[in-house]
Amino acid sequence: MIHEEKSHDTSGESIFGTGGSSSSSSEEGGSGRFYNPYADLYGQSDLKTLENLYRLPSTPEFLFTEEEAVQRRNWSENLTYYTGCGYLAGAIVGGAKGLSEGLQSREEGDTMKLRVNRVLNASGHRGRTYGNTLGILGLLYAGMESGSGYARGTDDVLNSVIAGLGTGALYKAAAGPRTAAIAGALGGIAAASLVASKQLTKRYLAI
Q: What is the pLDDT of residue 195?
A: 85
CA distance 115 to 121: 10
More confident residue, 25 or 167: 167
If one counts every other C-beta atom within 10 angstroms of the C-beta of residue 99, the result is 16
- 97-141, pLDDT tens digit by residue? 999 988 888 777 778 888 888 889 999 999 999 999 999 999 999
pLDDT surpasses 90 at 87 = yes
Query: What is the C-alpha separation between 10 and 2, in angstroms, rounded?
Result: 12
Q: Which residues have CB under 8 Å from 18's CB, separation 6+?
A: none
User: What pLDDT, on a 0 to 100 scale, did the predictor assign at position 202?
Assistant: 76
All residues at 6 or more sequence positions from 83 whose CB lies less than 8 Å from its CB, including other chains: 135, 138, 139, 142
Kindly give, in sequence order, each residue whose CB lies less than 8 Å from that of residue 75, ignoring residues fewer than 6 positions away.
142, 143, 146, 150
Contact yes or no for 146/79 (Cβ under 8 A): yes
Inform me whether the pLDDT recorded for 160 exceeds 60.
yes
- Is pLDDT of 84 > 70? yes
What angle, 0 to 180 degrees and rounded to 10, lies between the N-to-C axes of helices 112-152 and 157-171? Answer: 130
Residue 146 has pLDDT above 60, yes or no: yes
pLDDT at 89 over 70: yes
